[in-house]
């Protein structure tokens, strides 16, 4: 049977697809704040570390007990124009338990800047965090954050070669790999994407670096467009020589897919922290 998207705004509207979606993002606030307080009391949280002069150009750095094995970076979502890194602090618990330091950068939001500018900010933030922590680097990001980590990992980004050489794994979570559909969305009044920028900033239209490992992770209960976008990046980058895995986690939707990061026993951590 043929299928054509008629309502593009609905196709990318997660709240309308999730039962009791009004619980989010408030559901993340208390656990994130409690986590920051606990790590700060232990001297293991370095909050609001600057990587630029902008008000949002700051990252939080959480440290494991003992010498870090490497650096895990988590980039938040919010369709490039909402939220900030403070909602997600508690997700650092899993990587920390496996010996990884965790950096969570903020970034300037659209429409104050363009998506191209955000990608450059994230590259700068990752470089700044990597300069503090030795070892392999794992990049993860949710939704728009998934787009950003894939874009930063792709060839031609602003990420330094020194950091790129340390990349162990990139994990777009419910990531957006092709920005061209956003030209059809009302949201683009804030994003201000134009056709040229969608071609330049879509990871699915770019090349991965040599030797990249990519895990495209999405909830099986997500909107069809997020499932398609997840598979798209995996398919294209497989054809360009990357080592790729696709994981559609059962019974997870767009707002709870990331919860696994906070659980040290979840299998996701074995992908990058296993022997």
Place of tokens 């994981």: 247
For 174-183, what is the mean pLDDT? Answer: 98
Q: Say if residue 275's pLDDT is above 60.
A: no
d(CA 153, CA 139): 8
**How do the domains of the chain map onto residue ranges?**
32-258
Pick from 9-23, 52-66, 81-95, 179-193: least confident: 9-23
The answer to whether 73 and 137 have CB atoms below 8 angstroms apart is yes
| Residue 1 pLDDT > 90 | no
Residue with tokens 């099986």: 220
Q: What is the Cα–Cα distance from 137 to 195, expressed in whole angstroms?
A: 32
Give the residue with greater pLDDT, 18 vs 275: 18
Contacts of 26 (CB under 8 A, 6+ apart): none
List Cα–Cα distances, 207 to 80, 100, 193, 200, 211, in angstroms. 22, 28, 21, 11, 12
Q: What is the dihedral of CA 150, 124, 48, 108, to 10 degrees?
A: -70
Is the model's pLDDT at 274 over the cut of 90?
no
Q: Which residue has the tokens 């650096």?
A: 71
CATH superfamily of 32-258: Alpha/Beta hydrolase fold, catalytic domain (3.40.50.1820)
CB 215 within 8 A of CB 245: yes
Q: What's the chain's average pLDDT? A: 95
Distance of CA 112 to the CA centre of its chain: 20
Average pLDDT over residues 158-163: 97
Dist CA 45 CA 58 (whole Å): 13
C-beta pairs of 111-116 under 8 Å, 24+ apart in sequence: 111/81, 111/189, 111/190, 111/191, 111/192, 114/191, 114/192, 114/193, 114/197, 115/80, 115/179, 115/191, 115/193, 115/197, 115/201, 116/197, 116/200, 116/201
Give CA separation, 72 vs 24, 95, 238, 252, in Å: 24, 7, 23, 22
Q: What does the pLDDT look like over 181-235, one tens digit per residue?
A: 999 999 999 999 999 999 999 999 999 999 999 999 999 999 999 999 999 999 9
- Distance set, CA 241 to CA 155, 164, 203, 209, 226 (Å): 13, 17, 14, 9, 23
Q: What is the pLDDT of residue 14?
A: 82
Q: Are strands 137-142 and 213-219 parallel, antiparallel or unpaired?
A: unpaired
Residues 6+ positions from 52 with CB-CB distance below 8 Å: 121, 124, 125
Map tokens 């134009």 to a residue. 194
pLDDT at 23: 75
Statement: residue 21 has pLDDT above 80? no
Residue among 206, 207, 208 at smallest CA distance from 178: 206
pLDDT above 90: percentage of residues in the chain: 90
pLDDT of residue 91: 98
Q: Which of 16-25, 73-82, 190-199, 247-256 has the lowest mean pLDDT?
A: 16-25
What span, in angstroms and rounded, lies between the C-alpha atoms of 205 and 207?
Answer: 7
Contact 108, 63 (CB under 8 A): no
């Amino acid at each position: 049977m043929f299928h054509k998207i008629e309502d593009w705004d609905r196709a990318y509207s997660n709240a309308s697809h999730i039962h009791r979606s009004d619980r989010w993002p408030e559901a993340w606030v208390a656990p994130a704040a409690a986590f920051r307080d606990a790590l700060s009391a232990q001297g293991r949280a370095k909050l609001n570390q600057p990587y630029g002069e902008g008000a949002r150009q700051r990252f939080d750095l959480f440290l494991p007990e003992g010498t870090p094995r490497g650096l895990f970076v988590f980039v938040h979502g919010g369709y490039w124009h909402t939220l900030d890194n403070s909602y997600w602090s508690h997700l650092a618990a899993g990587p920390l338990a496996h010996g990884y330091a965790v950096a969570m950068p903020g970034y300037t939001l659209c429409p104050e800047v363009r998506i191209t500018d955000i990608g450059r900010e994230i590259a700068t933030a990752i470089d700044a965090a990597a300069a503090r922590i030795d070892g392999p680097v794992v990049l993860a990001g949710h939704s728009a954050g998934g787009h950003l980590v894939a874009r930063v990992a792709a060839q031609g980004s602003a990420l330094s070669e020194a950091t790129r050489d340390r990349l162990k794994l990139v994990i777009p979570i419910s990531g957006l790999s092709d920005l061209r559909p956003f030209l059809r969305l009302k949201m683009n009044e804030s994003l201000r994407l134009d056709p040229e920028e969608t071609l330049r900033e879509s990871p699915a239209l770019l090349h991965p670096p040599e030797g990249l490992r990519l895990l495209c992770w999405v909830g099986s209960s997500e909107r069809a467009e997020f499932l398609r976008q997840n598979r798209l990046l995996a398919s294209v980058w497989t054809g360009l020589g990357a080592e790729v895995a696709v994981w559609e986690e059962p019974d997870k939707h767009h707002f709870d897919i990331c919860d696994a990061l906070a659980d040290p026993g979840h299998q996701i951590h074995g992908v990058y922290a296993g022997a």
